[in-house]
Amino acid sequence: MNASNDTGADKKPKSAEMHPGPGFRIRSEIQRPERSLIDEFASFETPAISDLMNRLSTMHWEIHRLTAPGRRLLGPACTVKVFPGDNLMVHKSLDLARPGDVVVVDAAAATTHAVLGDLVATKARHRGIAGFVVDGLVRDIPGIIALGDMPVFARGVSPIGPLHRGPGEVNFPVSVGGIVVNPGDLIVGDDNGVTVVPREACRSLLERLRAQVGAEAAYLDAVQAGRFSNDWVDDLLSAGGVTTDDDTRTR
């Protein structure tokens, strides 16, 4: 008789098992902004969007564009949380994301394994997915670039491939680049970086963006023509009690 069968010495520890619930769950249905609303954001770059959200909804600069130069990334978030170095739930997200979605992967900023590459990106293209934002690493950049129209934003690149074990989550809140992203939030990415618009704020933010277009254009035209004043700078400095050379000489 095998003694290990009697003692259970050959069984894996309970701590190694997967447990249902937080950390290992999938949500199939999420709310998204209306497509017509999303499309109108294509007229605005991330700096303008970031400014009107008080500069608190833009991801860390290390999450930057790696593919599809000049191509805007725009769509609702299909969120994925993975165990660092694993991409089982990234693969599952391709079955749940709708055409036009952006797959947003919380890989905990891990700098070991890439969590997606050209195969995942090619599958995503067939599913109509708009692109990826990864708080971690990716690989197979030449293969993704060859697709021509698949924007990928990430912290960097590694040739080390992912594991496929889990756990993970799809379509629950994640933290990516220092920003909380909820499923269905609007992701806007361009050469400046990635900004997140909470789904419920999309309509009101778009109204404010439209309202400032004329004033912004007029100010830019004036600056380009050399017609501007920095009096506002002096007003702020004075209100703050700045010390000037003249002040020190009279003491």
| φ, ψ (nearest 5 deg) of residue 44 | -125, 135
Torsion sign (Cα): 69, 75, 81, 87: negative
State pLDDT tens for residues 4-29: 455 555 676 776 788 888 989 999 99
What is the rounded distance in angstroms from the CA atom of residue 151 to the CA atom of residue 102?
A: 10
pTM of the model: 0.88
143: confidence class by pLDDT, cuts 50, 70, 90: very high
CATH class of 43-208: alpha beta
At position 36, the amino acid (one-letter code) is S
Q: Give 65's contacts (C-beta < 8 A, 6+ positions apart).
A: 151, 152, 153, 189, 190, 191
**What would the pLDDT profile of 100-139 be if each residue is shown by its tens digit?**
999 999 999 999 999 999 999 999 999 999 999 999 999 9
pLDDT band at 151 (very low <50, low <70, confident <90, very high): very high
